[in-house]
A and B are shown apart, each in its own frame.
Chain A
Amino acid sequence: MDALTMYLQHWQTFLIQNGPDFAAALWVTIRISLVAIICGMTLGFAAELGRRICPWLRKPVACYVEFFRGTPLLIQLYLLYYGGPRIGLVLDAEPAGMLGMSLYAAAYFCEIFRAGFESIPEGQREAAHCLGIRPWRRLWRIELPQMAQIVLPPAVNQIITLIKDSAVLSIITVAELTKTATRIMNISFEIVMPLCLLALLYWIISEAVAVVCNKAEARLTRHLTR
């Protein structure tokens, strides 16, 4: 019993000492993930829409998607980090990470939106055209609401994947969760506590996002199918 109390006290001092660092790192992870999700979704949607509107964009967008989905995120980050300065793009670790994650996310979201667009029968487009509905109105009022049901589940999956993938940024020295945990490991000579705390935090974020998104999804689809 005495050993247990001592161990718990050990944890307590560890948490008091390193808690602020972990909290700051958690915020970095969340910040980068949010940027990647928002920019990735916007860019992915724009790319998919561009591909549908201009035929000559089809090949470049396909190449973009193929490249970013077919290579590891780590290599994309290295290319951006080392190749950026060659074209005059000198970035700090965190902005570089945000840019890299956004470009990577865009490729996946582009494919998700493609599946969404493809799920809508061609006849609806023709019907809307015959009724004289403008393309933008058709997009907002007819296509997007129906796409939501198809797009939401894979989008939620992708969001969780992105948050976890942000751990790779630790390799290019962004001070996010994983980097901070390994740094604390190196300076405090503790192994078990930082690692367990790290795994626990990611687990909580993933589960929380899944629960919140599933609730939101259930609500939205109920509203849409009504």
Chain B
Amino acid sequence: MNELGFILSIMPELLQGAVTSVLVAMVAIALGVVLGITVCQMRRSQLWALRRAAGLYISFLRGIPVLVILFLLFYLPSAVNVEVPSLLVAVLALSLNTSAFQAEIYRGGFNSIPVGQIEAAKALGLSRVRILTRIQLPQVLSLTGPELVNEFIILFKNSSLISVIGVTELMRHSEQLVSTTYKPVEVYLAAAIIYLALCLIISRLGERLKGNH
């Protein structure tokens, strides 16, 4: 019972860290959506060079671990004596990683829209941008909704890695608590409960989103 009391007593401090984790994940996923759609458009472009560049981008960022992307963005600028704030590095690394996975998700979405719709829109004289924003994107985003929620959960869990470069999110807060209380098991268990609860909430919200369509 003593342990339970301890876990409850550290919850407020851990939840503070969880707020940072959630915020970072939300900004990263939003950036990832924009980047992902852009890369996906490049991948579907008529130009060979753009297609090839997007293909390399996707294959490289999907092929290396998040931790390595994090290290690349954290240490490479320091090789040319540029200092980048670690929070910015964290957000960028997570969004680069998710954008490559999202680009592939969107590709499936775009491919599932019947060609006839686009031809009809062109025949009606709609501009390319209008076709994309008014016809394709709404359908693609609602089609790929469940996969995006999944991607958000993965991203949220990956956000635990940014503690390595010193961002004080949930994981880092736990590590600091461990160094003052010497109770690693209780602290990490408490953090695990928070991660688990938040992941469950995200997936429930996602299910509700799916139910609405």
Known contacts: A74-B171, A78-B184, A191-B76. The answer to whether A168 contacts B161 by CB under 8 A is yes
Residues of A within 8 A of B171 (CB): 72, 74-75
Q: Do B199 and A70 have beta carbons less than 8 Å apart? A: yes
Distance from A180 Cβ to chain B, minimum over Cβ atoms (Å): 12
Residues of B within 8 A of A69 (CB): 199
Does B67 sit within 8 A of A, measured CB to CB?
A: yes
Q: Do A72 and B76 have beta carbons less than 8 Å apart? A: no
Stretch binding the partner chain, chosen from B41-49, B115-123, B128-136, B187-195:
B187-195
We find that the number of chain B residues with CB closer than 8 angstroms to chain A is: 32
- Give the nearest-CB partner of A205 in chain B: B63
Q: Do A79 and B192 have beta carbons less than 8 Å apart? A: yes
- Give the nearest-CB partner of A86 in chain B: B185
Q: Do B64 and A83 have beta carbons less than 8 Å apart? A: no
The secondary structure that dominates the A interface is helix
Complex: how many Å from CA A178 to CA B161?
13
- Give the nearest-CB partner of B59 in chain A: A207
Known contacts: A192-B76, A203-B59, A206-B63. The answer to whether A71 contacts B196 by CB under 8 A is yes
Distance from B57 Cβ to chain A, minimum over Cβ atoms (Å): 12
Residues of A within 8 A of B107 (CB): none
Distance from A157 Cβ to chain B, minimum over Cβ atoms (Å): 10
59-110 of chain B: CB within 8 A of chain A: 59-60, 62-68, 71-72, 75-76, 78-79
Does A221 sit within 8 A of B, measured CB to CB?
A: no
Distance from B191 Cβ to chain A, minimum over Cβ atoms (Å): 6
Q: Do B71 and A71 have beta carbons less than 8 Å apart? A: no
Q: Do B185 and A202 have beta carbons less than 8 Å apart? A: no
Q: Which of A71, A170, A182 has the most CB of B within 10 A?
A: A71
Q: Do B64 and A199 have beta carbons less than 8 Å apart? A: yes
Q: Do B188 and A82 have beta carbons less than 8 Å apart? A: yes
Residues of B within 8 A of A86 (CB): 185
We find that the number of chain A residues with CB closer than 8 angstroms to chain B is: 36
Complex: how many Å from CA A167 to CA B191?
21
Residues of B within 8 A of A171 (CB): 164
Q: Do A67 and B76 have beta carbons less than 8 Å apart? A: no
Q: Do A199 and B68 have beta carbons less than 8 Å apart? A: yes
Complex: how many Å from CA A67 to CA B63?
26
- Give the nearest-CB partner of A167 in chain B: B65
Distance from B149 Cβ to chain A, minimum over Cβ atoms (Å): 14
Q: Which of B68, B171, B200 has the most CB of A within 10 A?
A: B68
Residues of A within 8 A of B59 (CB): 203, 207
Complex: how many Å from CA A199 to CA B184?
32
Known contacts: A75-B160, A78-B184. The answer to whether A70 contacts B67 by CB under 8 A is no
- Give the nearest-CB partner of A77 in chain B: B188
Does B157 sit within 8 A of A, measured CB to CB?
A: yes
Residues of A within 8 A of B76 (CB): 191-192, 195
12 contacts between A and B (CB under 8 A): A67-B196, A70-B196, A71-B199, A72-B160, A83-B184, A164-B66, A168-B67, A191-B76, A192-B76, A192-B79, A198-B68, A203-B59
Q: Which residues of A does B touch, CB under 8 Å?
A: 66-67, 69-76, 78-79, 82-83, 86, 164-168, 170-171, 178, 181-182, 185, 191-192, 195, 198-199, 202-203, 205-207
Q: Which residues of B does A touch, CB under 8 Å?
A: 59-60, 62-68, 71-72, 75-76, 78-79, 157-158, 160-161, 164, 171, 174, 184-185, 188-189, 191-192, 195-196, 199-200
- A72-B157, A75-B174, A199-B72 known; 9 new pairs, CB 8 Å cut-off, are A70-B157, A70-B199, A71-B196, A74-B161, A75-B160, A76-B192, A178-B65, A178-B67, A195-B75
